[in-house]
Structure 1
Amino acid sequence: MYGFSIFMNKDLDEKTYSYIDKMANQGFKGIFTSMHIPEDEVSLYKKRLMDLGKRAKENHLKLMVDISANALEKAGFSINRLKELKDLGVTGLRMDYHISNETIAKVSQELTVSLNASTITPKDIDELKEHKANFSKLEAWHNYYPRRETGLSREGFLKKNEFLKNHSFQVMAFIPGDDFLRHPLYQGLPTLEEHRFKHPLACLLDMESMNVEHIYVGDGGLKDYTLKQIKGYFQENVLSVRASQTTTSFSYVLGQHENRQDDARDIIRSAQARFKEIPEIIPENTSERSRGSITIDNCDYGRYMGEIQIVKNDLAADEKVNVVGKIIAEDRPLITFIGSGQKFKIEKEKNND
């Protein structure tokens, strides 16, 4: 499942409501929010949660609320009155080690409970079983890490997830957004440090490759084109990339393609490109081919003339291959995920993307 974050440090306004509606329409299914409440804003958070829950219900979105030990009580709610929260639209609570396993087990009979993936121990699991927790309602959620250099390593992440999955937990992790980054650091909110400042869709695809069941955008927003790329992947299984033009033949590569089933090591090969009717391609800009270069085989390649490729690994110049464009740096991480049979679309870079 895919989700996104809404922070309640200010009242929900029309811009926030519009963002929620847009994300729901693009295929996102859940909202994450936090109830770690400053002392002077208790009443404000209660109203904000009510407003957020109402909008979540209207869009058929799940709503996971991160709580501290006394956050609910501060806002006038209670773990002992879960129906009140459910009526608001809350579908789950994220609970940490300050809350007893007995309480967690009790809540799991009525709501989804997400536990801190990094701190779950075999002892916790034994205690949850002892208190008859509903394990079908328990999920393991990793944190996001606002400060640079503090995100998890891939190795540690995979090792922990193996432990969690062996105990039947579904795993959730955060990917960074690329708009409205979270204050005060504005350095993204990823789970994995290597994802910080990377393209959100590339991070999402990477999480999928590691069999993470629930993937949420940590930051408060996505750029319009990023959201368009994600929608294309969700709804049509197409990966769109933007490219800059190098030669006049660039127009031939624009549009939708499909990588060949026999996925090459060094290049992505458009399966249908050279079978299209195109004018003779004369040698032009037969330069070195760095990662992200878009090429067309010229007439010196005989029957291969017109083959369109995207370069995955740096290659030497070839007098039979024209370099006609290049995937922009921001979208280049997506190249990794254009595998066997994957549909992809090349679009011309626009200055306002």
Structure 2
Amino acid sequence: MIGFSCYLSEPADEQQTAYLKQMQQAGFTGVFTSLQLPEDDPKTLHQRLNHLITSCHQLGLAVVADISQACLTRLGIAADDCRGIEALQLDGVRIDDGIAMTTVASLSHTMAVALNASTLSAKTVDQLANAKANLRNIEAWHNFYPRPETGLDPCWFQEKNHWLHTLGFKTMAFIPGDAQQRGPLFAGLPTLEPHRGLLPIAAYLDLRRLATDHVFVGDPQLSPRSIAAFQAYTSDGVLLIQAEAADDRLYHLTWHNRPDVAQQVVRLAEARLEHVFTAPKPQNTVDRVRGSITLDNTDYGRYAGELQITRCDLPADPKVNVIGRIVPAALSLLDHIGPNQAIRFKK
């Protein structure tokens, strides 16, 4: 599942409905929200939740909400009242403080239940088994970390995911948004600290590489650029990469990395196979910094006309022209261009 967040602190209006539809069309399938908003009137919270669930279900989007004993009490629901929780019509709940494993076990027979991945232990698993929980409906979800410098370490995260998978749990983690960010710090809501400020699609691909089953955007909104990037990737498997180059032919084609992946460059197969470019004369044969778009000139013999993107800094080569560059914000995508990966350059 790939999901996004929609918080109940925002009113249910046409703008919210339009965003839900836009994200659903971009390939997103789930919505995360939270009932832990102590500053909101419980009646307003109920109304906004009902509207969100109705809107999401009309679009085929599953809704998972963060719940705790305190927020359930404010809504007039006891922490062990499974029927009261089920009456909220959520597709799943993410369990926070104050809810017993016996309640979790009961809920697991009627809906998806997510436990805190960071604190889930073998003892907790034994408690769930003894309470006859439906373990197939229980997953392990990591937190997001609003405060800079407190996000998780990727190595620890990968080891934790591996352990959780050996127990049969699917995992979830958050990536930051790049449009509206959630207060009070407005510093992004990633699970992993290196993802803070990273392009959302790059953070998503990174989490998938770290064996994360589900990925949700933690912040309230993605930019149109990022929504387009997710749509291209989920529907066609294409990476959209922002670039600056004078030759418009770069932007009009879908390119593919060769199946034999080079370490230092991305070799775009179509350039030589389909003779897209006439081999140019030597020009702008400057240092090839990471993200340079290059075209081999007439001095390179049978390689003339080859198009590449540099994965690392390389020295100038009189046989290689630099014809453009990947914009700095998109450089992280270079690490995700594997064998046969399709890419499209965007201005």
Shared fold, TM over 0.5: yes
Q: TM-score range by the shorter chain?
A: over 0.9
Q: Give the equivalent residue in structure 1 for 2:298.
A: 299
CA gap of 1:100–1:50, structure 2 versus 1, over 3 A, is same
Letter in 2 for 1:290: V
Question: Residue by residue, what CA displacement relative to the aligned partner does 1:75-116 show, whole Å, maximum 9, x if unpaired?
Answer: 244566656655654111111242111111111111111001
Q: Give the equivalent residue in structure 1 for 2:256.
A: 258
How far off its partner does 1:37 sit? 2.8
Q: SS of 1:63's equivalent? A: strand
Letter in 2 for 1:43: K
Q: SS of 1:163's equivalent? A: helix
1:308-323 correspondence to structure 2 within 5 Å: 308-323=307-322
1:46-57 correspondence to structure 2 within 5 Å: 46-57=46-57
Q: Give the equivalent residue in structure 1 for 2:93.
A: 93
Asked if 1:69 is matched to 2:66, the reply is: no
Give me the whole-angstrom Cα distance separating, in 2, the residues matched to 1:40 and 1:228. 33
CA gap of 1:39–1:209, structure 2 versus 1, over 3 A, is closer
User: Normalised by the size of structure 2, how large is the TM-score?
Assistant: 0.95
Q: SS of 2:211's equivalent? A: coil
CA gap of 1:72–1:90, structure 2 versus 1, over 3 A, is same
Give me the whole-angstrom Cα distance separating, in 2, the residues matched to 1:235 and 1:132. 39
The 8 Å contact of residues 279 and 296 in structure 2, kept in 1 or not, is answered as no
CA gap of 1:76–1:257, structure 2 versus 1, over 3 A, is same
Deviates more, 1:132-141 or 1:274-283: 274-283
Q: SS of 2:69's equivalent? A: coil
Q: Give the equivalent residue in structure 1 for 2:332.
A: 333
Question: Residue by residue, what CA displacement relative to the aligned partner does 1:289-338 show, whole Å, maximum 9, x if unpaired?
Answer: 01100000011112211110000011110001000000001111111111
Count of residue pairs brought into register by the alignment: 345
CA gap of 1:309–1:40, structure 2 versus 1, over 3 A, is closer
CA gap of 1:54–1:86, structure 2 versus 1, over 3 A, is farther
Give me the whole-angstrom Cα distance separating, in 2, the residues matched to 1:110 and 1:211. 27
The 8 Å contact of residues 12 and 48 in structure 2, kept in 1 or not, is answered as yes
Q: SS of 1:70's equivalent? A: helix
Q: Give the equivalent residue in structure 2 for 1:344.
A: 343
Q: How large is the RMSD of aligned CA atoms in angstroms?
A: 1.6
The 8 Å contact of residues 286 and 317 in structure 1, kept in 2 or not, is answered as yes
How far off its partner does 1:251 sit? 2.9
Give me the whole-angstrom Cα distance separating, in 2, the residues matched to 1:206 and 1:288. 29
Asked if 1:286 is matched to 2:285, the reply is: yes
1:264-275 correspondence to structure 2 within 5 Å: 264-275=262-273
Q: Give the equivalent residue in structure 2 for 1:220.
A: 220
Give me the whole-angstrom Cα distance separating, in 1, the residues matched to 2:148 and 2:265. 33
Give me the whole-angstrom Cα distance separating, in 1, the residues matched to 2:81 and 2:98. 19
Give me the whole-angstrom Cα distance separating, in 1, the residues matched to 2:122 and 2:235. 39
Q: Give the equivalent residue in structure 1 for 2:151.
A: 151
Give percent identity, aligned residues only.
Answer: 40
The 8 Å contact of residues 37 and 71 in structure 1, kept in 2 or not, is answered as yes
Asked if 1:3 is matched to 2:3, the reply is: yes
Asked if 1:176 is matched to 2:176, the reply is: yes
Letter in 2 for 1:317: A
Question: Residue by residue, what CA displacement relative to the aligned partner does 1:217-263 show, whole Å, maximum 9, x if unpaired?
Answer: 00011111111111110000011111112xx5x33433311000111
Give me the whole-angstrom Cα distance separating, in 2, the residues matched to 1:16 and 1:82. 29
CA gap of 1:26–1:86, structure 2 versus 1, over 3 A, is farther
The 8 Å contact of residues 293 and 326 in structure 2, kept in 1 or not, is answered as yes
How far off its partner does 1:26 sit? 1.0
How far off its partner does 1:175 sit? 0.6
The 8 Å contact of residues 270 and 276 in structure 2, kept in 1 or not, is answered as no
Letter in 1 for 2:255: H
Deviates more, 1:83-92 or 1:293-302: 83-92
